[in-house]
Amino acid sequence: MSYLRVITRPAINARTCKALRHTRHYSLEASLTGLWTTVSCSTPVAYMQQGLIAMHDLSGLPWWASIIVSTVLVRSIVTLPLAIYQNKIVARLEKITLEMPAIASELKRETAFAIKKYSWTEQEARIMYTHSLNKQWNNLIIRENCHPAKTLVVLWGQIPLWIIMSVSIRNMVHMLPDPSSVDAQITFAELMLGGFAWIPNLTMVDQSWILPVAMGVINFSIIEIQNASRTKTPSKLQKTFTNLYRILSVLMIPVAATVPSCLCLYWVTSSACGLGQNLLLMSPRVKRLVGIPHVPSEIAQPYQHIKTNLADKYSSLLAKMRLSSK
């Protein structure tokens, strides 16, 4: 509950942002600072910052709870619909992929007929066959409105959202964009008093490392669950990206241990929402409920499948470790 606020918050000071953006910088460090200032004073960040403050003011929740509730709401409104849409695109792509063998067989017969009728060379026939096959594939994509680029729609929405909200919370900790503003000082004071349990002051880092480690564990769990949910052997490229994400999950732990705990709390909550979202959209019942079509690769019991794969993987890993230790 807020007890300090007695005045209405005005809009974020645009004059301060404009002055900061027009400061001349010559060194690399100064250039990076200028870039950060531009992002910090951007319109999306200003709206997000005001939205977080409004949520806190209207709900009367302490800041730690306001950050959690705001994160869940924003992710539910933005990333969950995008994830549902992405799953629909993936399902449509799989369905049209199943149509391609029949189309390819028909094209092969037509090509063989054209070779005899028009005396095409082998190279001409191969060029025409490839061109026709690509054209049919594009026609199917247009028919189902499922361009492969749309399978990245969650990243297009999630990464900018993560950056905007992270910068907004950082702004509040550093009383930006106008440190002399009474409202910025009030918000900072509330963050100092709006903590919980082992973190009474949200402007300080989590010296216990509980939140940073929790974020790393959740992110690592997302990667392992996605890997265990596969029904096909991953390609070399997929294995490379999986290992890269594992490394990033570990590297983010010390990074999270250096930022204010309110920002780390947002990261943990966001990761937890991502984990819940992934598990939710694996359920066949939920998929039908939100309109994701059934495909042959869909697993009837996804959670049991993941559990079995993880158990097999880690039991095999433990066995190898025992053998190597002997």
With contact defined as beta carbons under 8 Å apart, do 248 and 210 qualify? no
pTM: 0.85
- Residue 49 is predicted with a pLDDT of 95
Average pLDDT over residues 91-111: 95
272 exposed, middle or buried (CB, 10 Å; 0-12, 13-18, 19+)?
Answer: buried
Reading the block at residue 297, the tokens are 């690769």
What is the token pair recorded at 67? 């950050």
Query: Which tokens sit at 219?
Result: 């992110």
Give the pLDDT band (50/70/90) at residue 4.
Answer: very low
pLDDT greater than 90 at residue 103: yes
Mapping DSSP to helix (H, G, I), strand (E, B) and coil, where does residue 199 land? strand
pLDDT class for 258, splitting at 50, 70, 90? Answer: very high
pLDDT digits (tens, 9 = 90+) for 130-139: 999 999 999 9
Residue 243 has pLDDT above 80, yes or no: yes
| Long-range contacts formed by 41-49: CB under 8 A, 24+ apart | 41/16, 41/17, 41/176, 41/177, 44/160, 44/164, 45/164, 45/167, 45/168, 45/171, 46/11, 46/12, 46/177, 48/164, 48/165, 48/168, 49/12, 49/168, 49/171, 49/172
Percentage of the residues of the chain whose pLDDT score is greater than 70: 89
28 pLDDT more than 70: no
Cβ pair 146, 93 in contact under 8 A: yes
Residue 147 has pLDDT above 70, yes or no: yes
Label residues 118-144 b or e (16+ Cβ within 10 Å = b): eebeeeebeebbeebbeebbeebbeeb
